[in-house]
Amino acid sequence: MICGVDEAGKGSVLGPMVVAAVGISSEEVLSECELKDSKLLSPRVRERIYAIIRKRFQVATLRIDAHEIDEIRKGMTMNACVARAHAQVIDILLPSVAYVDACDVNAFRYADMVKSHLAQRCEIISEHHADQTFKVVSAASIVAKVTRDRAIKALSKKYGEIGSGYPSDPVTIAFLSAYIDEHKQPPPIARISWKTITAMLGKKQQSQLSDFF
């Protein structure tokens, strides 16, 4: 078996990161799927391909929620966190070769990071933009993206409109600001170790102090 591994939500300030691995016998079995990097597909197309992947191939997913990421980052970098998560889903499928989307500027170093967390031996092929180069990584990208989108949708039902969860999304920032104003603390679904949160809290504290002068 070979497998592809990718994640969704690494840089998000709200919600989980989802890591996915898809195992196949060869890339030829993916020829009928319209596989691309998940970001290049519409939500409807992603959902359709996701259903096909789930039905035909072996899939492993790992969800790491915001509070877990905050705790993990006390002991390791975010890149190390992703590498360990990549290794965990690889160990579930037990492939002979795994293609991973490198989360480090040095793709070879990232391969070594993943290998250091593996419980079983596996050849790691690490490349930047692997989700655009290898169809099996594109498949993993779609699984991770759809799984995370569903998680964000569920959180939106509980908390109201939260946007995509990324710091670049004005809807996400507006939600965070309003929540902090009302509750005097970030929501439980926020990664409080993110600079987005610390900067926002600092700015609000300064604003409150200025009211006294």
| Ordered structural domains, the chain, with CATH | 2-155 (3.30.420.10), 158-204 (1.10.10.460)
How many angstroms separate the CA atoms of 213 and 208, rounded? 10
Its pTM stands at 0.90
Residue 6: is its pLDDT beyond 70? Answer: yes
Number of neighbouring beta carbons within 10 Å of residue 31: 9
Q: How many CA atoms lie within 13 Å of 190's alpha carbon, on the beta-carbon side?
A: 23
Chain mean position to CA 63: 8
Q: Could you tell me which residues are beta bridge partners of residue 126?
A: 100
User: Average pLDDT, stretch 94-117?
Assistant: 95
How many angstroms separate the CA atoms of 91 and 58, rounded? 13
Q: 213: pLDDT confidence band, cut at 50, 70 and 90? A: very low
User: Average pLDDT, stretch 200-205?
Assistant: 84
Residue 1: is its pLDDT beyond 70? Answer: yes
Are 37 and 131 contacting, i.e. CB atoms less than 8 angstroms apart?
yes
CA-nearest of 87, 100, 97 to 130 is: 100
Residue 60: is its pLDDT beyond 60? Answer: yes
pLDDT digits (tens, 9 = 90+) for 142-168: 999 999 999 999 999 999 999 999 999
